[in-house]
Structure 1
Amino acid sequence: MVAKVRMCGFVGIVNGNDEDRSDFDLMLSSIRHRGPDDSSFYIDEDSGVFLGSRRLSILDLSENGRMPMFNEGRTVVVCQNGEIYNYPELKNTLQEKGHKFLSGSDTEVIVHGYEEWGNDVFTKLQGMFAIVIYNLHKKKIILARDRVGIKPLYYLKHGNRIYFSSEAKSFNCIHDFSFRNNLDYENVDNLLGFMFLPKSGETIIKGVKKLLPGHYLEIDVYDQELTETKYWELPTQFGKTPSFDEAVEELNELLVKTVKSHLMSDVPLGVLLSGGLDSSLLTALVKKVTDSPVITFTAKFNHKFNESVYATEVADFLETKHEEIFIDASSINKNIEKYIRDFDDLTTFDGGLLTTKILCEEIKKKGVTVLLLGEGADEIFGGYSWFGLSQAPLSMLPRKLQACLYYYALSRNITYKPGEYYKYWIDMYDKNFTHDTFRNISSVELRIQLPNHLLMKVDKASMASSVEARVPYLDHKLVEYAYGLPREYKLKGALYSSSAVNEKHILRRVASKYLPVAMISRKKRGFMMPMDDVLKADYDKVKDYVYAKDSIARNVMSQQAIEGLFEKSRFGLLNMQREYLLWRLFLLEVWGKEYGR
């Protein structure tokens, strides 16, 4: 099975001059892995606009497919990172309106779409994308990001210039700007405690921002004014509710259509299979819509939590070409510096961070360039235990109390100063409150957990290995449909039941069309390595990093607290939260050395 793919990355400078050329070249080189085949750029010397792009292009290798891409009059310039899945339909629409196309590239749809619809073009795109458009007539730069934040986009206002890039590491190439000298210690503190930065748009580097999902940012080239606009949000109005059986059929049809659109293929494609519901159903759907052999991959560990056998059972049932990738703690510690270099803004400390990176690296070695993953299903179908708060009688509690209980359910992930995050989380829940508790929780998960945590991990781990990750469950039409379904279609059974079959009820019903009951009734699976294995694999190395005189940790924690962690760790007395804190401190210090200029 093969997939059409154009992995790309782009960088840019606004209000630059000849002195910025060296910085610009370094910025473009820093994202080479996002597109190792080709590099091209455009410079408007009169306005000081620099645009550079890298690509790995399989779909259209001609000059007409290169980016930056222009319209016929060379008044609109576009760079894109991602895939537009509905570009054939949009291309037909634009051709009917008189637009002429010179390539088979989906980027050209954005060029002509912007000519036709202006900034409304973003509302018509179905896919994952980060986009920059330069309007030479209006002297405006427009940055845009897809609805749920699958593709990242960073920007920095520094001095009298504005910089933007697909990856934050590009800004560390600026001659008078460095990560280490611009650390935001408040956000470092937040990151240590919460595993990821819950404040959308924030990073641990002062001045470096992430464009919010579902937003576009206009930059006035002359005065560098920034105007951010939301172009998408979750629906608030819903049509007639179908019966449960009708919803099952509608969801199945939508899933089949969505997966099919994600399989536009010219290069080898695989599926990351954990053996849980989401990835197993995804694999079954891929099997349904293609006649080509399906390749699946899973992680195999050498500890008691190894669950690769479940993925193998699904692969055998679906007759996929299945590969197990062995991961052990010693290999992680041995290559920790190389791995952590790819997580440039250290947005997340997820336990599966490095596991995902190693998987993608090995998958690329096996010749696979596109990888489908099951991320997003938990957030839209109720796959976390705290969605149980939406069931009566808790759903009838005052919203502030609902928010408190939601926070309490999440607090097991908070390793450090849990009280510090309480007010922020309560305010976030309160600000997006509706009278449907399930939708309240789903909304926060979609806007906080996904873009700031899971999707950042997936993009950085995959693109660092020149693998394009696709997440069909997060197609915005599927998200909107699932969001509009009643809670009782998603949750079934007793409040906070430990039974997996009570979660994602409608998704399990769809999966029953393709898989045996035993395979769709298992609890959540993932690719998580116990941190104690990694820490113990080279304890002295961990200690050397965290105890270093110039350690970042010394700016947010007392020496006594740090020593206490190591003392308890030495005797095996750390609970899970404190173990994760030690792991995060280790990664933070490795990152600090890698980006320490």
Structure 2
Amino acid sequence: MCGIAGGVTRGPIEDARIQHCLRVLHHRGPDHQAFMRDRVGDREVTLLHTRLSIIDLDPRAHQPFTRGGVTVVFNGEIYNYVELREELSRKGSVFRTNSDTEVLLEAWRAWDIEAFDRCEGMWALALWDSPARRFLLSRDRFGEKPLYLFDENGEIFFASEIKGLAALIPSPLQVNRGHLLRYLVNGYKALYKTKETYFEGVRELEAGTFLEFVLPEMKETEKRYWTLRYEPEEEMSREEAVAETRRRLLEAVRLRLRSDVPLAFCLSGGVDSAALASIAAREFDYNVSTFSIIDKDERYNETENILATVNDIQCEHKLIEIPREGFLERLRNLVKAHDAPLATISYYVHSFLTEAIAEKGYRVSVSGTAADELFTGYYDHFNLYLHEMRDTPFYEKARNDWERFVRPMVRNPFLKDPELYDRDPDFRDHIYLNRDLFLSLLEVPFSETFEEEPYSRSLLRTRMLNELFHEAIPVILHEDDLNAMKESIENRSPYLDRSLAEFAYRIPNRFLMDSGYGKSILREAVKGILNDAVRLDRRKRGFNASFRSLLDLDDEKVRRDLLSDGPVFELINRERLEPLLDRDPLPNSVSKFLFNFVNVRIFLEEFAS
């Protein structure tokens, strides 16, 4: 894990800007910072790198890394670098380090663009092939590693964080108020349905794509090198689905245990993260150390299940309670670190977890991100599953299971209707909940409504793929990366494995749920590895906290501060907002809006010119 930045410009980027960029990205790579320059005609290529050493800690693996006229700066990990190295060695490549960076560069020299298809891992990279005059940017399949772009007047700049871009670009970045409105009204699930960011002209390179320029003409090509589709193998048996899921999940974990520094495991009370820690401990005899956030609010308290896993695998463990003091000051620091409002209150809470991991000296953490998007897990997935099973022999049992096990746990009023998608297959109002209320609070017009990509004829898989690539996972990866890298920690997500994901999307829908269990195949796949107290728990609490528990809205000083003059009230009507502060208890959607309001207030104070 590292920080990268640079650009292709008409003249050299000033030394002062380069040094400033390396300083602001130092937290992403405290072990080494360097840059290189090259020139083709009137074009200057600049590559910057800050290194967090994880694989091959020797200085010989520092970046920018050059061989045969090809230079790469790379943020991430190529988990199958050992296997690729062996294959490349047979083809004649000679290696001088034990790093995955060198393997990546040699893979490019051997296979060109096809190298991305052969790599299993997470990456954001910039590569300058001087002999071919090709400059290339690439991002991993799921977008685990960030890569921001800014192009203007025939020049392009890139960086791992927006603050890195701002350091290199000659003119100040301008706040994108339209994206703030999107966040306020439609919430975090709307943020990655567009290429826009919170700053005008700044975009992220899409996951699973590469962007190439031929110099000096700057001839541009942007292509997708990987796409995930739902292609069910209807002849597959349930036993085959379980066995192959188990095999591929264990392999995904095995690869992601590769490191020259110890790993920490983020542990919640759910199946996803507990399965990973249990696999590492039981199947690979890894000395697991786990970290968990706990909340006094019983709606979110998972202590019982967390301790069930800790006691079962006998691992070192740290429980972190959420402090209630200093909310506004801490939130301001996080907004500045993220160059953005926090997507949800979960990532305010998550920041305590990454701090605790760093305090124990760990440089790598492992999380259970994306199991829901591969194997189901959200409550609307149950409604969609019922719709999919409607005219099949499986419907009656599925409906009875839902009535018995799922309905009692559902709080969202829309999702209490088992025939919701039979009546209206296009229903999505539960996603942008209370949108009309939030629109009524605005001082400026905003009309963007819900849209989703039509990935499949299956409504359930279309929903899951939208969550995977546009709604849930991009947000989680973005926030996880920034919280972790703020503490110089690399985050790994074993479920975001190409082989595992492609197989999950070949499993027929009829197997995805059973007896009121979401993630039915995953639960069976980890039988005998994960303790049954967690494996057979149907409850889904989520990683969260209530807004009122963190900020006393009845405190007069707090209210004065929140309602005092500021640029946020160019977007939101103060008089219509104020009554929301009096509501107790706060409905969940209103709690989210107030958290977003405070974030936007801070963001505009810090970044609006």
- Out of 475, 481, 485, the position equivalent to 2:497 is 475
Q: Structure 1 residue 571: deviation in Å?
A: 5.0
- Which has the larger displacement, 535-544 or 330-339? 535-544
C-alpha contact 1:13 1:24 (8 A) present in aligned 2: no
- Which has the larger displacement, 297-306 or 123-132? 297-306
C-alpha contact 2:233 2:508 (8 A) present in aligned 1: no
Cα distance in 2 between the residues matched to 1:438 and 1:571:
35
Q: Structure 1 residue 272: deviation in Å?
A: 0.8
Q: Structure 1 residue 487: deviation in Å?
A: 1.0
Q: Structure 1 residue 16: deviation in Å?
A: 5.0
1:536 corresponds in structure 2 to 552
Alignment of 1:229-240 (within 5 A): 229-235=223-229, 237=231, 239=233
> Deviation per CA, 1:351-391, whole angstroms, max 9, x where unpaired?
21111112101111011221111010001101111222433
C-alpha contact 2:553 2:559 (8 A) present in aligned 1: no
Cα distance in 2 between the residues matched to 1:527 and 1:42:
42
1:89 corresponds in structure 2 to 83
Gaps of 5+ in 2: 391-418
Q: In the alignment, residue 128 of structure 2 is paired with which amino acid?
A: Y
Q: In the alignment, residue 325 of structure 1 is paired with which amino acid?
A: I
- Out of 566, 571, 580, the position equivalent to 2:578 is 566
Number of equivalenced pairs: 571
So what's the TM-score if we normalise by structure 2? 0.87
C-alpha contact 1:273 1:311 (8 A) present in aligned 2: yes
2:166 corresponds in structure 1 to 172
C-alpha contact 1:10 1:80 (8 A) present in aligned 2: yes
C-alpha contact 1:545 1:589 (8 A) present in aligned 2: no
2:430 corresponds in structure 1 to 409
1:3 corresponds in structure 2 to none
Cα distance in 2 between the residues matched to 1:229 and 1:175:
26
C-alpha contact 2:236 2:508 (8 A) present in aligned 1: no
- Out of 520, 524, 529, the position equivalent to 2:540 is 524
1:303 matches 2:297: yes
Cα distance in 1 between the residues matched to 2:564 and 2:221:
42
1:190 matches 2:182: yes
- Out of 105, 109, 121, the position equivalent to 1:115 is 109
C-alpha contact 2:108 2:115 (8 A) present in aligned 1: yes
Q: Structure 1 residue 82: deviation in Å?
A: 0.5
Q: SS where residue 131 of structure 2 aligns?
A: coil
Distance 1:277 1:467, change over 3 A: same
Cα distance in 1 between the residues matched to 2:126 and 2:200:
23
C-alpha contact 1:171 1:178 (8 A) present in aligned 2: no
Distance 1:292 1:512, change over 3 A: closer
C-alpha contact 1:168 1:345 (8 A) present in aligned 2: no
C-alpha contact 1:389 1:402 (8 A) present in aligned 2: no
Cα distance in 1 between the residues matched to 2:457 and 2:372:
21
Q: SS where residue 14 of structure 1 aligns?
A: strand
Cα distance in 2 between the residues matched to 1:67 and 1:392:
52
Gaps of 5+ in 1: 1-6, 494-500
C-alpha contact 1:129 1:145 (8 A) present in aligned 2: yes
1:70 corresponds in structure 2 to 66
2:317 corresponds in structure 1 to 322
Report the aligned-residue RMSD.
2.7
C-alpha contact 1:200 1:212 (8 A) present in aligned 2: no
So what's the TM-score if we normalise by structure 1? 0.89
1:512 corresponds in structure 2 to 527
Q: In the alignment, residue 519 of structure 1 is paired with which amino acid?
A: V
Distance 1:311 1:538, change over 3 A: farther
> Deviation per CA, 1:192-237, whole angstroms, max 9, x where unpaired?
1233203243212110001111011113443445432100001354
Cα distance in 2 between the residues matched to 1:489 and 1:394:
12
- Out of 569, 572, 576, the position equivalent to 2:588 is 576
Alignment of 1:394-405 (within 5 A): 404-405=426-427
1:127 corresponds in structure 2 to 121
Distance 1:29 1:381, change over 3 A: same
C-alpha contact 2:268 2:274 (8 A) present in aligned 1: yes
1:497 corresponds in structure 2 to none
Q: SS where residue 474 of structure 1 aligns?
A: coil
- Which has the larger displacement, 170-179 or 378-387? 170-179
- Out of 135, 139, 149, the position equivalent to 2:143 is 149
Q: Structure 1 residue 505: deviation in Å?
A: 0.8
C-alpha contact 2:336 2:603 (8 A) present in aligned 1: yes
2:353 corresponds in structure 1 to 359
1:439 matches 2:453: no
Q: SS where residue 219 of structure 1 aligns?
A: strand
Q: In the alignment, residue 469 of structure 2 is paired with which amino acid?
A: R
Q: Structure 1 residue 451: deviation in Å?
A: 4.3
Cα distance in 1 between the residues matched to 2:509 and 2:555:
47
Cα distance in 1 between the residues matched to 2:21 and 2:126:
16
> Deviation per CA, 1:31-62, whole angstroms, max 9, x where unpaired?
11111110011011453111110002143243
> Deviation per CA, 1:491-516, whole angstroms, max 9, x where unpaired?
225xxxxxxx4211111112332234
C-alpha contact 1:294 1:320 (8 A) present in aligned 2: yes
C-alpha contact 2:209 2:225 (8 A) present in aligned 1: yes
